[in-house]
Structures are given as C-alpha cells and as structure tokens.
Amino acid sequence: AQSVTQLDSQVPVFEEAPVELRCNYSSSVSVYLFWYVQYPNQGLQLLLKYLSGSTLVKGINGFEAEFNKSQTSFHLRKPSVHISDTAEYFCAVTRSGGSYIPTFGRGTSLIVHP
C-alpha cells in the first residue's frame, strides 16, 4: 500500500514570492505521482503528473514539481505566486502499472497575501 505525507497543513506567503509545498510518499513499488489544486467550493483539478521520463515536471499555472526517488519526495514549486493561487493543494500517489485509484495526502492550504 502507498501513503502520502504533506508536511505543511498551511503555507502563508506574500504575492510574488516563491513557494514550495512539500510532499513525501511511502511505497514498496514504483509509483506515479500527482498534484491537484482545489479552489474554494470547486472540485479538484490536475496541476501536473509524473509517470516516467524527466524527473522535473511542468504543469499548469506556472507550477512545477521534481520527483526525487532517493528521498521519496515530489515537492511542488512556483517561483512567483499570485493572489489567485490561494487554494488547497493535494499530492497523490498510485502504484505504477496497477490501480488507477490514487492515495491522497491531507492537503496544504496555500494562502497568498498581498
């Protein structure tokens, strides 16, 4: 079974500052990794995914994440945040080549201040 730990429940940051949202996973097999964003009163939207290939993955809205197998991490980064990035961010993992059912972390609330 897989598990996901999002180390920060809340990350406050000022507009135009860089941000990193941390995600660590645990799995005995190879995994696929995902980041989703949830804006208030909406469903989740896929930001980016790592299935194979380059460990640096670029997603929508200027976000990127790097898969680090040795550290079992998949941290999400953005060099300059906007007010509109205020949302809940979820990291998720699924077993590669197997189930399509992901295991989600508890989420990190990104709060961007003007």
Partner 1 sequence: GAGVSQSPSNKVTEKGKDVELRCDPISGHTALYWYRQSLGQGLEFLIYFQGNSAPDKSGLPSDRFSAERTGGSVSTLTIQRTQQEDSAVYLCASSLDGSYEQYFGPGTRLTVT
Write out the residues near partner 1 by the rule CB under 8 A: 4, 9, 32, 34, 36, 41-46, 49, 51, 90, 92, 94, 100-107
Tokens 């945040």 — which residue? 81
Q: 1 vs 114, which CB is nearer to partner 1? A: 1
Cα 86 from Cα 77, distance rounded (Å): 14
Nearest to 57 by CA among 91, 23, 84, 33: 33
Nearest to 33 by CA among 84, 77, 79, 93: 93
What's the min distance (Å) between Cβ of 80 and partner 1?
A: 26
Q: 72 vs 109, which CB is nearer to partner 1? A: 109
What's the min distance (Å) between Cβ of 111 and partner 1?
A: 15
